Amino acid sequence: MKLSRIGRVSMALVASVAMGLGMTACGGGTIGFMWVLGTQYNQIAGFKIDDFSGNLTQIPHSPFSSGGSDPVSLVVKPGGRFLYVVNKGGSNNTGVNPACGTNGSISEFSVGGQGVLTFQQCFQAQGQTPVWAAHDSTGNFLYVLSQTAPPPSPTVDDPNPPAPANGAITVFAADPNTGRLTLVLNQQIKDPNTGLQLTYFPVGNQPSMLAIAGGCVFTLNRADNTVFPYAAGASGQLTQTTNSLITTGATNATSIITGGTSIYITDAGTPNSPGQILPFTVAATSCALNTITGGATANISPASNPVYALVGGTGSSNTHLYVANQSTTNSTLPNSSISAFNIQTNGQLQPLPDPGNNPYPVGGGPVCMVEDPSNQYIYTSNGDGTVTGKSISTVGQLSNLKRATTFTATGQATCLAVSGNVD
């Protein structure tokens, strides 16, 4: 069949528009972007997420340098224009930007067309060994969690004081136009040796993760399985509540996440045990955690060693809890998996009915999970350097994607993040 010149031009225009929207003949267009950290080469793998299939295709110029050494956490500023990467710091200097160095740092990137990242600058957390970051709901403030607070100021009697046992939150104000971070000083506490305001907010011992629920900020402290709560003010100030430490009841707490007005803590328990999930509601005024009726929920056998959780569901229903597990109590089954639970109206958890399938197998050593912007798919970043994708049914069950289910990211993958748009 021959086409007229006008017909050929029309087809070319249609193809051009489709390419501009990220559409292909086999897909449904790009509904979002995904970035996955990898510590082996200090890189960020970038992907476009296909609407029709959930398939991941590489962003142009991916992978990108993470800027610093040992990237472990990342967060997208609301609006999708800026991405922040927390580099834990270490001796691996592969691809490290001199502006960041090998100490702990926060790399800022601008997000361009097709999800391409452009490095902007580096910022320093006030504590040592930063491990996690989260934005407040407005995107005006970035909270960066460090495992160790900075040492006290030297004095004549003690010129080299040791680092304290507790961790620290560094609060940054994020410029809406440039993404640039500006330090927010602690107006409640002064350095006793200098009389100056502290540059950080102290938390518990060996904090590993941070979660935000409404106006409350919680850190999970691995040393004693406690949670340290703060109330967050409009100026970015964190105010200690009356409950300085909250006992969780966990034996080996591994993650803390927010789901609506609830907080969920994964507890790996003892070796070779399935572990459990601890659900709490948040008291808005005091930022206390109240155990949900029924208390802890056992993980779904044979899954064990739960390390991360995600509240989600199709259509933003947020009626399901998904738990990433790194081990199994049955050596004949896949080692890593996702356990799926229904969240009841009273907040209690019940295993999602899907006999023979739940828990669902994923790549080796899952670290983090995300749901895509359209709430159709769920993805895990895995320590084996892959990403596993699953489709979410209307009742929360998971199944393999229409095409590929496993995608190559970058060596020794840690966490991942998604963005649906760039304003």
Q: Total structural domains in the chain?
A: 1
pLDDT value at position 195? Answer: 87
Residue 293's domain is classified under what CATH number? 2.130.10.10
Domain membership flag for residue 322: yes
> CA-CA distance, 279 to 290, in Å (whole number)?
9
Q: What is the pLDDT of residue 151?
A: 83
Contact 167, 145 (CB under 8 A): yes
Q: Which residues of the chain have pLDDT under 50?
A: 1-26
Q: What whole-number distance in Å separates Cα of residue 44 and Cα of residue 38?
A: 6
Domain extent at residue 370: 248-418
Query: Does residue 92 form part of some domain?
Result: no
pLDDT of residue 262: 92
What is the pLDDT at residue 28?
64
For tokens 């402290």, the residue is 221
Residue 42 falls inside a structural domain: no
278 is a domain residue: yes
pLDDT at 158: 78
The whole-number pLDDT of residue 27 equals 54
Q: Specify the pLDDT at position 20.
A: 41
What are 295's strand-pairing partners? none
| Residue 119: inside a domain | no
Closest CA to 73 of 85, 89, 90, 83: 85
pLDDT at 8: 45
* 409 found inside a domain: yes
Contacts with 77 (C-beta within 8 Å, 6 or more apart), sequence order: 83, 84, 135, 139, 142, 174, 179
3 state SS of 213? strand
Where would I find the H helices in 102-228? Answer: none
Kindly report the backbone phi and psi dihedral angles of residue 115, in degrees, each rounded to the nearest multiple of 5, phi listed first.
80, 15
Q: Rounded CA gap, 324 and 337, in Å?
A: 6
Residue 31, both tokens: 């509904």
Give the per-residue pLDDT at 17.
37
> Can you give the pLDDT at residue 294?
86
Cβ atoms within 10 Å of 232's Cβ, excluding its own: 20
How do residues 345-385 score in pLDDT, each as one tens digit?
Answer: 888 999 999 999 999 999 999 999 999 999 999 999 999 99
In a domain, 254, yes or no: yes
pTM summary value: 0.90
